Amino acid sequence: MTDQADGSATGRRPTMIDVARAAGVSLKTVSRVANDVPTVRPALAERVRTAMSDLGFQRNSVAANLRSGRTTGTIGLIILDLANPFYSTIAAAAAEVAERFDTQLITASSGWDTARERELVLDLCERRVDGLIIACTGGDQSYLDEIARGTPVVFIDSPPSGPRSDMVLLDNRTGTRDLFRRLIAEGHREIGTITDTLNDFTMRERLAGAREALREAGLESGRHAARIYSDRPRSAGDAVGAMLDGPHPPTALFCGNNRILLGAVEELVRRRSRLRLAAFDDFEFAPLLPHPVTVVSYDTRALGRLAAEMLFQRIGSPRTDPSTYVIPTYLIDRGTMIADTG
């Protein structure tokens, strides 16, 4: 025995055909009701709606999109690591914009792996996402030309190597230059820098900004430079330790991103060092760090929001020239100077 009058199998989800049969109307009328087409006699519409709820009908939007050939109402976001607050903030902001366009966000992490990034792009294109936002790895993105054919892409945080595209970037260079100018104005001449190898572009830009400020002041750069090869804060802490224990310890320290800063602060706290500290990236907990720090800050949510808005704009008009939006950066003195809590 089945639980449906028309004898359709239990377990199968009811389709518009089932609803049509139950309501004694044609498939098309059901479709009209489901799409709120106004030209349906109220009485009929009511009967259809009753049948729908009786059967527990739920329209299959996948099938709907297949025929109409319109958008699927999904966009893909490929980032490096969803667990990193920088990227999750971007994801949240992008999702908010997507909501305005009745679009869902598929979020995937590439984990700094270019091959994985490529796989994800392919997979998402095969799912026919309406567009992609990509925080790309340091690798080569030429594959996009053959893979993303027609799927609009906006890059964030760092530009792709290869294709010309819409981009939303941070003003890495200016931010770091201003930061170094301040450190130099404070009298620092030996500034240690710690960067990582995970995001070549941003780190290069930040270092270029640093060099600019140093050159203006007639200072050498690169005397205290360390690069780390993971995003574990501990690696950064070790690098800081090595620097401080070296023959020419710096008087100030610049951390290339928030994770490096985290490791550096840990190490400095452990050593009860009062080294002048500065970093790129601001974050919610920065004001509470136990070591004063001056950071290059910017509006992370704006980055995600603009990227999504740019993408929907591009989806609307595919054949205009790509453009780049640069998010401004500014300095903030953060961190507390906690006295005698011991």
Partner DNA sequence: TTGAAAGCGCTAACAG
Partner DNA sequence: CTGTTAGCGCTTTCAA
DSSP 201-255: HHHHHHHHHHHHHHHHTT----TTEEEESSS-HHHHHHHHHHHHHSSS--SEEEE
Q: Which two tokens stand for residue 275?
A: 């080294």
Q: Does 31 bind DNA (CB under 7 A)?
A: yes
Q: Scanning residues 222 to 281, which ones bind a second copy (CB under 8 A)?
A: 262, 265-266, 269, 272, 274
Q: Does 326 bind DNA (CB under 7 A)?
A: no
Pairing between strand 293-297 and 330-334?
Answer: antiparallel
**Separation between Cα atoms, residue 106 and residue 75, nearest integer Å:** 6
- CB of residue 61 to DNA, shortest distance in Å: 7
Task: Kindly state the smallest distance separating residue 91's Cβ from DNA, in Å.
Answer: 29
* φ, ψ (nearest 5 deg) of residue 14: -65, 145
Which residues ranging from 105 to 144 are in contact with a second copy (CB under 8 A)? 105-109, 122-128
Touching DNA, residues 221-240 (CB under 7 A): none
Secondary structure letter of residue 14 according to DSSP: P
- In angstroms, the CA 293 to CA 51 distance is 64
Q: CB under 5 to 8 A by kind: which of a second copy, DNA, none does 182 bind?
A: none
Burial of residue 81, with CB atoms counted within 10 A of its CB: 0-12 exposed, 13-18 middle, 19 or more buried = middle
What is the nearest approach in angstroms of a second copy to the Cβ of residue 149? 5
Beta bridge partners of 332: 295
User: Token digits for 252?
Assistant: 């100030």
Distance from C-alpha of 294 to C-alpha of 335, rounded to nearest angstrom: 8
Q: Is 302 a residue that touches DNA (CB under 7 A)?
A: no
Residues 235/266, Cβ–Cβ less than 8 Å: no
**Region from 32-40, 90-98, 220-228, 234-242 binding DNA, contact rule CB under 7 A:** 32-40
Q: Is 40 in the site for DNA (CB under 7 A)?
A: yes
DSSP secondary structure letter of residue 127: T
Q: Which among 29-37, 116-124, 136-144, 188-196 is the span making contact with DNA, rule CB under 7 A?
A: 29-37
Residue among 248 and 272 whose Cβ is closer to a second copy = 272
Please report whether residue 319 would count as binding DNA according to CB under 7 A.
no
Of 184 and 295, which CB lies nearer to a second copy in the complex structure? Answer: 295
Binding footprint of DNA, residue count (CB under 7 A): 28
Which member of 198, 210, 228, 289 binds a second copy (CB under 8 A)? 289
Neighbouring C-beta atoms of residue 136, cutoff 10 Å? 28
> According to the binding rule CB under 7 A, does residue 41 interact with DNA?
yes
Give the span between the Cα atoms of 96 and 304, in whole angstroms: 9
Burial class (CB in 10 A: 0-12, 13-18, 19+), 200: middle
User: What is the chain's alpha carbon radius of gyration, rounded to the nearest angstrom?
Assistant: 27
Q: Spell out, one character per residue from 147 to 176, where the chain touches a second copy: x when CB under 8 A holds, - when not.
A: x-xx--------------------------
Interface with DNA (CB under 7 A): 12-13, 15-17, 25-29, 31-32, 34-35, 39-41, 44-45, 59-60, 63-64, 66-70
Binding region for a second copy (CB under 8 A): 11, 13, 53, 56, 58-63, 65-66, 72-74, 81-83, 85, 88-89, 91-93, 95-96, 104-109, 122-128, 146-147, 149-150, 262, 265-266, 269, 272, 274, 284-285, 287-292, 336-342
